[in-house]
Structure 1
Amino acid sequence: MTSIKQNSAPSTSFAWIVTITSLAFIIAQLDVSIVNIALPQIVQTYKADISMLQWVVDAYTLAFAVLMLSAGSLSDLLGAKRIFQLGMCIFGIASLGCGFAPNAGSLIGFRVLQGVGAATMIPSSLAILNQAFAHQPATRTRAIGLWTATGSAAIAAGPIVGGILIELSSWRFIFLVNVPLCIAGLLLSFRLQQTDMAKVKKKFDFAGQIAWMLSITTLIASIIEWPQLGLSHPLIYGSLIFSGVTFLLFLAIENKVTAPMLPLHLFKSATFNVLLLLGAILNWAYYGTVFILSLYLQNVLHYPSLHAGFAFLPLTLGFVISNLLSGRIINKFGIRIPILTGLVLFAAGFAGLFIAQADTPYWQLFLPFLVIPMGMGLAVPSMTNGILSSTDKALSGTASAVLNTVRQAAGAIGVAVSGAMAAGNTASLLQAIYTCAAIAILLSILLYTLNFKYLKNSGMSK
């Protein structure tokens, strides 16, 4: 199939392209974290236990993760603009369903549909950016930095926005607020140019998608239900075995089919693999910790929803500050320096969480709440630029999908693992914070070593 003609310099303005694509990232990332602040209210409405709460959070990130690869592939095949608009429609409809969900089961179902919409929007939005500025590396770096900054700020601002909406009305409005945003994004997107499509028409990889979906879904489900059923329960160890087998089947399928959903040749690059590992660990630690801290602030320190929401304000500030600085740092020093600096800050912020107690004053938590996202905000734009700059433009949607799939799957696993550790009384919750912090620090040290070695040898640092 002949690709649609695309000029090297887009006729649509820089600001317009960044604004529309960033709006999609804001909507998707906001719903990762905004629900955390509403967990106590959802418990009261539906009489839910912690396992149900984990599903409310993870149903979204799980669907987000398992469908991202397919969405990225479709973005390359059909054009990113079309897939972007489809995602906006799906997300708006799903958000409306979440806002009026009559029971916990339907809420979880509509959260899954939200994840489908998010999985459709994110790789296509990043592909739009990458293709629009493919011949302008400095401009692309700036655009990706701004795109990442808005998404990072949104995920950090989620608890604040949620706290305000709950205080003013009800937890249901944390979902209904998405509807006008999706309508606005859909209408604005018609001004975008149609994006490049794959030059060769490929068949959609249904077998690979099904194998991947079964593998990651059963893995996360077994982790969530582990505390209630125990490892010796047939459903738990059976699901873990099934997850492993289907993952191996997925790799076999991708290695054999002519048009794989996940091109395995991408993983021949050590730099690509190290950057993916970086994204996975950052999301695992951050998502899991925010889930625990939301419960800690409201169930242990007994903050009202509004106060708990504003307690996360330093997370928003940290992301915004570091993301806005990252573009300049990348253009001056390359990607290696901001990644290594970000990892040091990330680990230092988690070290500060060891002060958390049942009566810790908020001012002592302020600094770690600020430093953790500052480190992540420095590292993520560099990681994204490194992934995209090492990939052919025609596969930008797939590369974006691989990165975001790994990150979202890791985030879902982080929530599942941290929720399993936090189940129980105050002591269990505090111990979960300490354990997550210790693991995050150790993994940050590992990542520092790997990135120092492979980014230096890859020539991707200045």
Structure 2
Amino acid sequence: MIVLPLALAQFVASYAATTMTVAVSAVAADLGTTVLGVQAAITVFTLTMASLMVPGSKLSDLLGRKRCFLAGLAVYGAGALLASLAPGPGLLILGYSLLEGIGSALMIPPIYILVTVTSPDLAARARALGVVSGAGALGAAAGPLLGGLVTTWLGWRASFLVQVLLVGLIVLLALRLAEPPAPPREKRFDVGGALLSAAGLFFLVFGVLQSGEYGWFVSRADFAVAGIVLLPAGSISPVWLFAGIGGALLAVFVAHLRARERAAREPLVPSGLFRDRVTGLGLATQHVQWLVLQGAFFVVAVFLQEVRGCDAIETGLMLTPATVGILAASAAAGRMARRHSQRWLIRVGFVLAVAGLLLVLVLVRADSGVASSVPGLFFLGAGVGIMLTASANLVQSRFPDAAQGDISGVSRSVSNLGSSVGTALAGSVLAGTPHLGDRSFALALATLCVAAVAGLVAALLLPE
């Protein structure tokens, strides 16, 4: 079955992005570093993956989708093995942050390309994308629980060894994948475009991640480089410094694409891709979906651990209703695609997600029972599960097979950026309150509700 290795690979990549959050203290103590040092490794992993997703997607056209997928798995597995053996933070960053990040950027775009080009019709594509998207969301949701179990019982290194074993299994399954012939493409890789896109996304994501420490608008602390204070506390947040650099580099990137097209040379991605209204709005909904999902998981996890005193295992169990909602919606993706348009499903998904966030906001308190969070988290998970599949199907199906490498990389970059923004946005709201409690929890959830409503507006603007 072609979907199985692809879904497992998406699960592993999503799992790696969240499982380290519950092992931070254990890793820091074992490697003789600080919690901030381990968090920096997690940040570099996110930055590497998001920055290289577009070039990684382009390589899938040049090298072949299956070959690029297998190469990504090999790099990822080597990184996980190195991280499991790390005697200090340096090797952890090399293995986990860099090699696993590069491996993810190589293997994730081919997942969605292969699903798209091997599906005979929209319903079959929706079923396959539902399985893959559900596996990704499940990996993100189950990361804290599984990571907590493995770290508690076997140690944090075992979590990386589990990834190595899973990668080995995926490679064996993937060797039997049948890949349709890739379209003929120019064999010269757009190195300039790759560098500009990677640098632009790096600075953009890095800027967003600074919001947790410095805030979004006014800097909470001095921002210094090499001991020189560039932005004093009370001035503009460094978020906008890095976001400005990233935005400028991405503007140069777009100009570079157009210049290559005028010279009749193939660019990293076609510039016309960004001018299509349906694609733009579809990518916007993808961004918001991952923002809301990761932001909500982060807020709920912090609330459960810091306010209610839950451990990693209890936190993962409390998030189970959202996981069940995601899996139920993903399982029904093919059936829903036959009965309803992708636009309608995206809109319904956002409505359910907003309703779920509001239920959590209204029902959950520091002293409320365990059952109080179940309906809200289930509706949130179901809404996101519907949207993840429908949005991916809408965007990927917008383009012919020859352009799947182009749209897949952009789509995955937008989704990863949403995950980073969601965690950073929620974290900055929590960090801006005097102490963690019901008020800070409510404020963070209300912020995510506003973001989800903005996503609903984008979905309503999608043309019929």
Residue of structure 2 in register with 1:234 after alignment? 230
1:273-305 CA-partner distances (Å, limit 9, x unpaired): 111000111112222332333232222211122
Q: Among 73, 92, 96, which residue is 1:107 paired with?
A: 92
Letter matched to residue 246 of structure 2: S
Question: Residue 414 of structure 2: SS of its match in structure 1?
Answer: helix
Q: Among 86, 103, 106, which residue is 1:117 paired with?
A: 103
Deviation of residue 379 (structure 1)?
Answer: 0.8
Question: Residue 435 of structure 2: SS of its match in structure 1?
Answer: helix
Residue of structure 1 in register with 2:235 after alignment? none
Instruction: Give the direction of change, closer, same or farther, for the CA distance of 1:220–1:149 in structure 2 (3 Å limit).
Output: closer
Q: Normalising by structure 2, what TM-score?
A: 0.87
Q: Please list, as runs of the form range in 1=range in 2, the aligned pairs for 1:332-371 lying within 5 A after superposition.
A: 332-355=339-362, 356-371=364-379
> Which segment drifts farther, 56-65 or 19-28?
56-65
Residue of structure 2 in register with 1:451 after alignment? 459
Deviation of residue 343 (structure 1)?
Answer: 0.4
> Which segment drifts farther, 386-395 or 444-453?
444-453
Residue of structure 2 in register with 1:459 after alignment? none
Greater relative CO (CA pairs within 8 A, separation 6+): 1
- Alignment partner of 1:387 is 2:395: yes
Q: Distance in 1 between matches of 2:295 and 2:162?
A: 25
Question: Residue 204 of structure 1: SS of its match in structure 2?
Answer: coil
Q: Distance in 1 between matches of 2:441 and 2:193?
A: 36
Q: Please list, as runs of the form range in 1=range in 2, the aligned pairs for 1:420-459 lying within 5 A after superposition.
A: 420-423=428-431, 427-428=435-436, 432-456=440-464
- Alignment partner of 1:168 is 2:149: no
Deviation of residue 209 (structure 1)?
Answer: 1.8
Deviation of residue 230 (structure 1)?
Answer: 4.2
Q: Among 405, 408, 411, which residue is 2:419 paired with?
A: 411
> Which segment drifts farther, 239-248 or 322-331?
239-248
Q: Among 199, 214, 218, which residue is 2:203 paired with?
A: 218
Q: Distance in 1 between matches of 2:38 and 2:375?
A: 28
Residue of structure 1 in register with 2:217 after alignment? none
Residue of structure 2 in register with 1:9 after alignment? none
Residue of structure 2 in register with 1:301 after alignment? 308
| Aligned residues of 1:18 and 1:146 also touching (Cα < 8 A) | yes
**CA RMSD across the alignment:** 2.5
Q: Among 306, 309, 329, which residue is 1:322 paired with?
A: 329
Residue of structure 2 in register with 1:288 after alignment? 295
Q: Among 389, 399, 423, which residue is 2:407 paired with?
A: 399
Instruction: Give the direction of change, closer, same or farther, for the CA distance of 1:102–1:225 in structure 2 (3 Å limit).
Output: farther
1:78-126 CA-partner distances (Å, limit 9, x unpaired): 2100000001101111111222333345433422321111111111122
Residue of structure 2 in register with 1:199 after alignment? 184
Residue of structure 2 in register with 1:13 after alignment? none
| Aligned residues of 1:202 and 1:259 also touching (Cα < 8 A) | no
Q: Which runs of 5+ in 1 are unaligned?
A: 1-15, 457-462
| Aligned residues of 2:38 and 2:89 also touching (Cα < 8 A) | no
> Which segment drifts farther, 365-374 or 69-78?
365-374
Residue of structure 2 in register with 1:247 after alignment? 250
| Aligned residues of 1:146 and 1:324 also touching (Cα < 8 A) | yes
Q: Distance in 2 between matches of 1:238 and 1:351?
A: 34
Residue of structure 1 in register with 2:273 after alignment? 266
1:376-421 CA-partner distances (Å, limit 9, x unpaired): 0011111111112110111212211111110102212322333333
Instruction: Give the direction of change, closer, same or farther, for the CA distance of 1:167–1:104 in structure 2 (3 Å limit).
Output: same
| Aligned residues of 2:142 and 2:323 also touching (Cα < 8 A) | yes
Q: Distance in 2 between matches of 1:370 and 1:103?
A: 40
Instruction: Give the direction of change, closer, same or farther, for the CA distance of 1:157–1:208 in structure 2 (3 Å limit).
Output: same
Count of residues paired in the alignment: 440
1:167-210 CA-partner distances (Å, limit 9, x unpaired): 32112222221101111111221211244223132421211222
> Which segment drifts farther, 32-41 or 155-164?
32-41
Deviation of residue 67 (structure 1)?
Answer: 0.9
Q: Among 123, 127, 143, which residue is 2:113 paired with?
A: 127
Q: Distance in 2 between matches of 1:277 and 1:31?
A: 25
Letter matched to residue 304 of structure 1: D
Q: Distance in 2 between matches of 1:141 and 1:299?
A: 39
Q: Distance in 1 between matches of 2:176 and 2:9?
A: 15
Q: Distance in 1 between matches of 2:187 and 2:33?
A: 45
> Which segment drifts farther, 145-154 or 380-389?
145-154
Question: Residue 156 of structure 2: SS of its match in structure 1?
Answer: coil
| Aligned residues of 1:98 and 1:172 also touching (Cα < 8 A) | yes
Question: Residue 177 of structure 1: SS of its match in structure 2?
Answer: helix
Residue of structure 2 in register with 1:8 after alignment? none
Deviation of residue 29 (structure 1)?
Answer: 1.5
Deviation of residue 49 (structure 1)?
Answer: 6.2
Deviation of residue 50 (structure 1)?
Answer: 6.6
Q: Distance in 1 between matches of 2:254 and 2:185?
A: 23
Deviation of residue 372 (structure 1)?
Answer: 1.3
